[in-house]
Copies of this chain bind each other. A is one copy, B any other.
Amino acid sequence: MKAKIQDVRMHKLPTFKDSRGVLTAGESHRDFPFAVARYFVVYAVNGGAKRGEHAHRECHQFLTCVSGSCSVEVFDGLATKAFRLSSPEEGLHIPPGIWGVQSDHTPDCVLLVLASHTYDEKDYLRDKNDFLSFVGKG
Protein backbone atom coordinates (compact mmCIF):
# COMPACT_ATOMS: atom_id res chain seq x y z
CA MET A 1 0.00 0.00 0.00
CA LYS A 2 1.72 3.18 -1.20
CA ALA A 3 1.58 6.35 0.85
CA LYS A 4 -0.64 9.14 -0.41
CA ILE A 5 -0.28 12.88 0.04
CA GLN A 6 -2.84 12.87 2.88
CA ASP A 7 -0.59 10.46 4.80
CA VAL A 8 1.94 13.29 5.18
CA ARG A 9 0.76 14.86 8.42
CA MET A 10 1.70 17.71 10.73
CA HIS A 11 1.74 16.73 14.40
CA LYS A 12 1.47 19.12 17.35
CA LEU A 13 3.98 18.26 20.07
CA PRO A 14 3.49 18.55 23.84
CA THR A 15 5.22 21.70 25.08
CA PHE A 16 5.95 22.72 28.65
CA LYS A 17 6.78 26.34 29.53
CA ASP A 18 7.88 27.61 32.91
CA SER A 19 10.07 30.37 34.34
CA ARG A 20 13.24 28.48 33.29
CA GLY A 21 12.35 28.17 29.58
CA VAL A 22 10.54 25.84 27.17
CA LEU A 23 10.66 22.06 26.62
CA THR A 24 8.98 20.29 23.67
CA ALA A 25 8.95 16.49 23.56
CA GLY A 26 8.17 13.86 20.94
CA GLU A 27 7.73 10.14 21.57
CA SER A 28 7.89 7.10 19.29
CA HIS A 29 4.48 5.55 18.55
CA ARG A 30 2.71 8.54 20.12
CA ASP A 31 3.82 11.60 18.14
CA PHE A 32 5.26 9.71 15.16
CA PRO A 33 4.66 6.07 14.20
CA PHE A 34 8.16 4.61 14.38
CA ALA A 35 11.18 3.97 16.60
CA VAL A 36 14.13 6.26 15.88
CA ALA A 37 17.29 4.61 14.55
CA ARG A 38 18.96 7.79 13.28
CA TYR A 39 18.69 11.54 13.57
CA PHE A 40 20.29 14.33 11.63
CA VAL A 41 20.34 18.10 11.80
CA VAL A 42 20.64 20.38 8.78
CA TYR A 43 21.92 23.89 9.43
CA ALA A 44 23.94 26.80 8.01
CA VAL A 45 21.93 26.35 4.80
CA ASN A 46 22.74 28.85 2.10
CA GLY A 47 19.85 31.05 1.02
CA GLY A 48 18.24 29.68 -2.13
CA ALA A 49 19.49 26.13 -1.59
CA LYS A 50 17.12 23.22 -2.11
CA ARG A 51 17.69 20.09 -0.04
CA GLY A 52 16.14 16.65 0.01
CA GLU A 53 14.94 16.00 -3.55
CA HIS A 54 14.59 12.30 -2.95
CA ALA A 55 12.21 9.69 -1.52
CA HIS A 56 12.80 6.61 0.62
CA ARG A 57 11.74 3.05 -0.11
CA GLU A 58 11.19 2.04 3.55
CA CYS A 59 12.39 4.83 5.82
CA HIS A 60 9.92 7.04 7.71
CA GLN A 61 11.00 10.55 8.62
CA PHE A 62 9.79 13.17 11.09
CA LEU A 63 10.89 16.75 10.41
CA THR A 64 10.81 19.62 12.90
CA CYS A 65 12.44 23.06 12.76
CA VAL A 66 13.99 23.54 16.19
CA SER A 67 15.30 27.00 15.21
CA GLY A 68 14.16 29.30 12.40
CA SER A 69 11.96 27.99 9.60
CA CYS A 70 11.93 26.29 6.21
CA SER A 71 9.46 25.09 3.59
CA VAL A 72 8.81 21.45 2.72
CA GLU A 73 7.12 20.32 -0.48
CA VAL A 74 5.93 16.73 -0.74
CA PHE A 75 4.79 14.76 -3.78
CA ASP A 76 3.21 11.29 -3.93
CA GLY A 77 3.56 10.91 -7.72
CA LEU A 78 0.18 12.52 -8.33
CA ALA A 79 -0.41 15.42 -5.93
CA THR A 80 1.83 18.03 -4.31
CA LYS A 81 1.43 19.70 -0.93
CA ALA A 82 3.46 22.46 0.74
CA PHE A 83 4.15 23.02 4.44
CA ARG A 84 6.04 25.68 6.37
CA LEU A 85 7.91 24.35 9.43
CA SER A 86 8.44 27.24 11.83
CA SER A 87 8.32 25.93 15.41
CA PRO A 88 9.73 23.11 17.55
CA GLU A 89 6.12 22.62 18.67
CA GLU A 90 5.17 20.89 15.42
CA GLY A 91 6.64 18.18 13.24
CA LEU A 92 5.88 16.68 9.83
CA HIS A 93 5.69 12.92 9.39
CA ILE A 94 6.76 11.85 5.89
CA PRO A 95 6.14 8.13 5.22
CA PRO A 96 8.25 6.18 2.70
CA GLY A 97 7.34 6.57 -0.97
CA ILE A 98 6.95 10.36 -0.76
CA TRP A 99 9.25 12.75 -2.66
CA GLY A 100 10.36 15.64 -0.43
CA VAL A 101 12.12 18.96 -1.07
CA GLN A 102 13.14 21.56 1.53
CA SER A 103 13.73 25.20 0.60
CA ASP A 104 13.56 28.80 1.82
CA HIS A 105 15.54 28.14 4.98
CA THR A 106 16.00 31.16 7.24
CA PRO A 107 19.65 31.86 8.21
CA ASP A 108 19.00 30.54 11.74
CA CYS A 109 17.17 27.41 10.51
CA VAL A 110 18.06 24.14 12.25
CA LEU A 111 16.01 21.28 10.80
CA LEU A 112 15.93 18.15 12.95
CA VAL A 113 15.03 14.93 11.14
CA LEU A 114 14.28 11.67 12.97
CA ALA A 115 14.47 8.54 10.83
CA SER A 116 13.18 4.99 11.32
CA HIS A 117 16.24 3.37 9.71
CA THR A 118 20.00 3.79 9.87
CA TYR A 119 21.65 5.20 6.76
CA ASP A 120 21.43 2.94 3.70
CA GLU A 121 22.08 4.45 0.27
CA LYS A 122 19.99 1.64 -1.32
CA ASP A 123 16.90 3.00 0.46
CA TYR A 124 17.14 6.32 -1.43
CA LEU A 125 15.23 7.08 -4.63
CA ARG A 126 17.17 10.06 -5.98
CA ASP A 127 15.98 9.91 -9.60
CA LYS A 128 12.50 11.29 -10.26
CA ASN A 129 11.71 8.62 -12.86
CA ASP A 130 12.82 5.82 -10.51
CA PHE A 131 10.54 7.35 -7.89
CA LEU A 132 7.58 7.49 -10.31
CA SER A 133 8.12 3.82 -11.21
CA PHE A 134 8.34 2.93 -7.50
CA VAL A 135 4.96 4.55 -6.76
CA GLY A 136 3.39 3.03 -9.89
CA LYS A 137 3.17 6.27 -11.88
CA GLY A 138 6.13 5.64 -14.19
Interface residues of A (CB under 8 A from B): 19-28, 30, 35-46, 49-51, 66-67, 88, 105, 108, 110, 112, 114, 118-119
Question: B36–A28 contact, CB under 8 A?
Answer: yes
Give the shortest distance, in Å, between A114 (CB) and chain B (any CB): 7
Question: B42–A22 contact, CB under 8 A?
Answer: yes
Give the shortest distance, in Å, between A118 (CB) and chain B (any CB): 5
Question: A39–B114 contact, CB under 8 A?
Answer: yes
Q: Contacting A112 at CB < 8 Å: which of B46, B112, B118, B119?
A: B112
User: Which secondary structure dominates chain A's binding surface?
Assistant: strand
A38-B42 contact given A66-B110, A67-B110, CB 8 Å threshold: no
Give the shortest distance, in Å, between A137 (CB) and chain B (any CB): 28
Contacts of A23 in B (CB 8 A): 40-42
Contacts of A36 in B (CB 8 A): 28, 35-37, 39, 114
**Chain B residue with minimal CB distance to A88?**
B41
Give the shortest distance, in Å, between A112 (CB) and chain B (any CB): 7
